[in-house]
A and B are shown apart, each in its own frame.
Chain A
Amino acid sequence: MFGWEFPPHILGGLGTASYGLTKGMSQQEDMEIMFVIPKPWGDEDQSFLKIIGANHTPVAWRDVQWETAKSRLEKYMDPQEYYSLRDHIYADFNYMHTNDLGCVEFSGRYPDNILEEINNYSIVAGVIARTYNFDVIHAHDWLTYPAGLHAKSVTGKPLAIHVHATEFDRSRGKPNPTVYGVEKDGMDNCDHIICVSELTRRTVLENYHQPAWKVTTVHNAVEPLDPEIEAIERLLGVSEKVVTFLGRITMQKGPEFFVDAATQVLKKSDHIRFVMAGSGDMMNQMIRLVADRGIADKFHFTGFLRGKQVYEMLKSSDVYVMPSVSEPFGISPLEAMQCGVPSIISYQSGCSEILNHVIKTDYWDVDAMADAIYSICTHPAMADFLQVEGKREVDNIKWEDAGKKVRAIYDKLVH
């Protein structure tokens, strides 16, 4: 598999999904997974798969002593693998910027020269593909499509690509042509396309013009909560109900609709507070909007939350709202439901396809959203029902099942 992120060092939902899916798939006994990421940190959980760092794969031959290789790479992989990878360098890449081990450096993030990094990643993929034995190639998101295609052309093995998001979601319908080109090329030349929701599948069919038989939906799932997280108590001292928006404050997530709904609710009631947790390029604009509406004493911003803080926020909430304008899947409502928080999500998010015990509205339907927030906060029966049923529902959404669906696709591709 080619991926870009892997926990614990993640920047977005892609890492979480990669982890869940591989962990779910590893429960199949005859499954062996090798996961390539640009830059491992050495503290990844490798109990159920093997991680290969693109920045530890040589593309130019260097005479490296065993001791050097051992001291530099032991933290990440068996030094012997370095030598076997080195034996499969397929062209002279000395013109590239490489270090003393003959490896290319990667940031592992989303830098400005991301296109260059993607290209380097696919060069490295050529070496890896020649070194190891495998049956199926699986590439996560557009960043790794070129690498997947390269591996496929080298080995002739089938390629499945996994669409976690498309450029149409990220840009609210104004795609960057270069990114679109990379995505389209990957989809055109792969053997199968896996989408995280029907919504994404439709985008792939309509905007990338793929044949329907080639595209399958495998919904994401969610990892069970840690007992440590399960034990977090409600932190807040306020007596009011707390309604939370949690996520990047960007155009894609529809934060302004949340503010509008909050304004509607606060006009009528006094027992509800709103929190917008997270940061993003629209945060200051939202603060101004809140001040403008005159609801700032009941509407709070927490700034960016990390790790455990996210769960502390969820555990302290009474309602979770995700008014995303276009969300390929959206794992966070599932996490909220795990914490026993009733959720309100937009129809325009992929997870609404598999969730029943949530309230769904259109992202632009502020009145309906306000109505739902008010009734959950005001009628305990409604809140209790959503809390209990929601948790039961989400506890049955397992990565293992998603893994089985992916396996079925593999089986079709191999035979």
Chain B
Amino acid sequence: MKTICFYFQIHQPFRLKRYRFFNIGRDHYYYDDYSNEEILQQIAGRSYIPANRMLLDLVNLYKGRFKVAFSISGVALDQMEVYMPEVIDGLRELSHTGNVEFLSETYGHSLSCHYDPVEFRNQVKMHADRIKSLFGQEPKVFRNTELIYSDEISDMVYDMGYRKMITEGAKHVLGWKSPNYVYTSINQPKLKLLLRNSRFSDDLSFRFSNYSWSEYPLTADKFISWIASTPPEEQVVNLFMNYETLGNIQPSHTGIFEFMKALPRFAFDRGVGFATPGEALDLYKPVGAASVPYPISWADEERDLSAWEGNTLQKSALETLYSVSERVRLTSDRRLKQDWLYLQASDHFYYMSTKHFSDGAVHSHFSPYTSAYDAFNNYMNVLSDFIGRVKAQFPDSVENEELNSLLLTIRNQELEIKQLRSELKKVIGSNEANLVVKEKAPKNPK
């Protein structure tokens, strides 16, 4: 039996406001509240909320035979909590059905795996805690930002205790192999991988409403028959896409919701089932190892990191950002830590891309800026202010290691003082008790 594995990505960055050079040092609020709220509400109204409702109906209707998975970045959760809590409520309801899995990722939708392994681990941990507290699930499957993956990353993920991961079925990595099997990491044979089927996924997210596509219109019947007619030994078809595909990228008038509603019925008719990534990875045995020496992702034609670090602007911004990561970890200022997460979102670097042709259009479509240079200037102004605040926390002349040991000493002393205080209290308490006993003692004989 073949299995379809759906996974939807939800992410919204905190877009930055127009931050001029003159604001540096005077204004420490960086976000464009108006457009963040506006965009989120728009997308939620068109996509997240109706899609949540539809998926809930489907899950209930098929009583556990229809399953999906979500990966939601921490920054998106933060933003929805402020502007659109009903989306989270809808997801929580889905979670209660027991047929929806939540995946693990980096909290800030960041590229930290590539620049700062410590930060990467912290963010994954932070995200897992957040998912646990919101949805009551402990994520077992790891999904990196934008499906970025390499052998090196698989080591880190394995070290964190994950045994399941999903990524892109990039053609230049797979070659003649099919993405419709379970693979393992070449470095960590125990880490199982699920690969995105880019053809079928993109049929839905990009081509579904394209009139000039030869297969238009795409019906659920036709789509399932394509999946069913893949070679019989292929086990699992991974449809990974942005959640906005349902209703926003493909607006509801294109019939995407009706398509999704009809899909399970045709699937079951043809003997195709559904599973969450976690179940699919339990169900099937790996057929081989995937070797990915250079990082891949699901973005653009190249399926690599060039969308975020393809030019000098992006590289310079990323390097500057992560140059202060150690310092940020030393502080305990909560606002600073929050800004640190929000500034790491990969979107900020995506806006600075100068790639042309078809993908360039996609970049500029999502960008709030008129040009990559504009995006860079604005981001760097914000970053300058941020770095100034980080440096203001501790004197610059102290080396990180020295500072770390000093802070450790201070913290230890604090603990020690606390301990001594409580001991002192105990001693005083017992002394008082003794005194009371002594005072009382003479009275007792009476």
- Least CB distance from B372 to A in Å reads 9
Q: Does A111 contact B (CB under 8 A)?
A: no
What number of residue pairs across chains A and B have CB atoms under 8 A from each other? 70
Q: Which of B37-87 contact A (CB under 8 A)?
A: none
Verify B376–A291 contact, CB threshold 8 A: yes
- B299-336 vs A, CB cutoff 8 Å, 1 = contact: the mask equals 00000000000011101110110000000000000000
Verify B319–A294 contact, CB threshold 8 A: yes
In the complex, chain B residues whose CB is within 8 Å of the CB of A312: 22
Q: Pick from B134-142, B381-389, B417-425 the stretch touching chain A.
A: B381-389
Please give the number of chain A residues whose Cβ is less than 8 angstroms from any Cβ of chain B in the complex: 25
Task: Identify the closest chain A residue to B383 (Cβ).
Answer: A297
Q: Does A235 contact B (CB under 8 A)?
A: yes
Q: Does B377 contact A (CB under 8 A)?
A: yes
Q: Which of A239, A292, A302 contacts B316 (CB 8 A)?
A: A292
- A301-329 vs B, CB cutoff 8 Å, 1 = contact: the mask equals 11100000000100010000000000000
In the complex, chain B residues whose CB is within 8 Å of the CB of A173: none
Verify B21–A237 contact, CB threshold 8 A: no
Q: Does B23 contact A (CB under 8 A)?
A: yes
Verify B25–A298 contact, CB threshold 8 A: no
Q: Does A231 contact B (CB under 8 A)?
A: no
* Complex Cα–Cα for A275 and B373 (A): 15
In the complex, chain B residues whose CB is within 8 Å of the CB of A406: none
Verify B388–A238 contact, CB threshold 8 A: yes
Task: Identify the closest chain B residue to A292 (Cβ).
Answer: B312
* Complex Cα–Cα for A291 and B21 (A): 16
Q: Which of B1-46 contact A (CB under 8 A)?
A: 20-27
Q: A238 and B320 in contact (CB under 8 A), knowing A287-B373, A297-B380?
A: no
Q: Does A77 contact B (CB under 8 A)?
A: no
Q: Does A236 contact B (CB under 8 A)?
A: yes
In the complex, chain A residues whose CB is within 8 Å of the CB of B376: 287, 291, 296
* Complex Cα–Cα for A301 and B311 (A): 18
Q: Does A283 contact B (CB under 8 A)?
A: yes
Q: Does A170 contact B (CB under 8 A)?
A: no
In the complex, chain A residues whose CB is within 8 Å of the CB of B311: 288, 291
Q: Does A300 contact B (CB under 8 A)?
A: yes
In the complex, chain B residues whose CB is within 8 Å of the CB of A270: 396
Verify B25–A296 contact, CB threshold 8 A: no
* Complex Cα–Cα for A303 and B27 (A): 20
Verify A235–B22 contact, CB threshold 8 A: yes
Q: Does A284 contact B (CB under 8 A)?
A: yes
* Complex Cα–Cα for A290 and B27 (A): 24
- Least CB distance from A272 to B in Å reads 13
- Least CB distance from A309 to B in Å reads 9
Task: Identify the closest chain B residue to A294 (Cβ).
Answer: B316
- Least CB distance from A135 to B in Å reads 50
Task: Identify the closest chain B residue to A301 (Cβ).
Answer: B377
In the complex, chain B residues whose CB is within 8 Å of the CB of A288: 311-313
* Complex Cα–Cα for A301 and B377 (A): 6
- B270-299 vs A, CB cutoff 8 Å, 1 = contact: the mask equals 000000000000000000000000000000
* Complex Cα–Cα for A258 and B246 (A): 51
Please, could you name 9 A-B residue pairs with CB atoms under 8 Å apart, sorted by A? A237-B24, A291-B317, A291-B376, A294-B320, A297-B380, A297-B384, A300-B24, A300-B380, A301-B21
Can you list the 8 inter-chain pairs with the closest CB atoms, starting with the nearest? Answer: A237-B25, A237-B26, A291-B316, A238-B25, A300-B21, A291-B313, A291-B312, A292-B312
